[in-house]
Structure 1
């Protein structure tokens, strides 16, 4: 028998830690249980290895309706995992999915320069790129430090490996397999990827999709305290209020 409370599985961005979801966890507590995938910062597994990690995480919570939520890099992983085993997921949520990465020639060229940077320079570069990773005006000073510290945990070689995985992420011909209701969130202030265009492009090709444009959000949208993912899930019927669930 399925639990009345669904399980939301969060798949993190390029850092892989799952630590940047803290703003959303307490807002979701009224509607669902939450667990986050944590990929070791030195892990350089391929897509099949990461799918296996997702499967293991879900297997640890049997008998649950699963909402799979992927952000940025995690959006790529969410799509690949859901295509591989669509029956495992009740709902799909993609936040600024990095599925457009392979089509961004200038970013791919720029990524090659990362290989030439020593580790210390990459740590400095993280500060420079912070405005591209987030709408910094939407973050408190403490949250900006948290984001920067988390990004700095990941080594240059791991970043390069995960960027290469994003380059390989081509699900266009299999989007029809994602028949579950899907919510696509795109940040209008995303300065890293064209997320608004991407979620609209995906919505035209997914069987059951709805789109929300986040007017003030940047790329790392879910770390923004003003963003309430639970409210969007409630709006589209992905979760229900406790009073609406049967006892």
Structure 2
């Protein structure tokens, strides 16, 4: 379905039923489909909400930019629009940075936060060559496949590869450029200490982008209510590499919230 938030038309998918809703935020280069296999494992127990962030997939572009603050405001407004009264926010990579900012504002109804290989709340500075590589990560099919090989611990099945290629190429030029040139440099570290809901940080054993030690130092250490769990055999793309393990970790964490 399409939901209009401000001047942006968001492509939103809902599935499943349950007293607790799970709201998923995808990575830079992903869409709501990134979460398909994880959602399939959880939809018999929870109400699942996935959506394409502004400028990605079937959501429209935005004329007020792609900052972390803008993405967080958009997410919060969508949650309010859907009337979610009890929910867990789950963000992957860039979506994890957005989720941190949303949770820091202590929205009504939020009962837990799950950060899946999250981007750091501090600015992430890359060497010039790596930054240039990121800027061109989603230029064409070949660059997407190169990026996938770096982000994933193993090449997925052909259908999933095609999905990832389509999703990565779907971004508007502005959405593609925003993360490596500005959003990853935003500093929200002073905000994340305000997070009070139980928080799970899921790290990937084989992540070549964001290491386990980085998650400990930059994320867990800044959120007093956070704990770390490592998913083995996975690269940065946890929802793609190890969807069943990721789903089990999510379900186990929510089970401990006593909701």
TM-score (norm 1): 0.82
CA contact (8 A) 1:186 1:196 kept: yes
Partner-residue secondary structure (3-state), 1:177? coil
After superposing the two structures, state which structure 1 stretch, 180-189 or 160-169, moved more. 160-169
Q: Which has the higher strand share?
A: 2
- Residue 129 of structure 1 corresponds to which residue in structure 2? 147
Can you list the C-alpha shifts for 1:94-146, whole angstroms capped at 9, x where unaligned?
0011117833432x65324666x698x54422222221121224x22221222
Within 5 Å, which residues of 2 pair with 1:97-136?
Answer: 97-99=118-120, 102-106=123-127, 109-112=129-132, 122-136=140-154
Taking CA–CA contacts closer than 8 Å with sequence separation of 6 or more, which of the two structures ends up with the larger relative contact order? 1
Superposition CA RMSD, Å: 2.9
Q: Equivalent residue for 2:12?
A: none
Q: Which has the larger radius of gyration?
A: 1
8 Å CA contact 1:100, 1:198 repeated in 2 = no
- Residue 122 and residue 140 in structure 1: after superposition, are their counterparts in 2 closer, same or farther (change >3 A)? closer
Alignment of 1:142-161 (within 5 A): 142-161=159-178
Structure number with the higher helix fraction is: 1
The one of 157, 170, 177 aligned to 2:187 = 170
| 2:38–2:239 contact (8 Å) kept in structure 1 | yes
Unmatched tracts of structure 2, length 5 or more: 1-16
Q: What is the TM-score when the length of structure 2 is the normalising length?
A: 0.78
C-alpha displacement at 1:154, in angstroms?
2.0
The verdict on how the C-alpha distance between 1:61 and 1:76 changes in structure 2, with shifts beyond 3 A counting, is same
For residue 213 of structure 1, what is the aligned residue in structure 2? 230
Structure 1: distance between partners of 2:234 and 2:89? 21
Residue 73 of structure 2: which of 34, 52, 58 is its match?
52
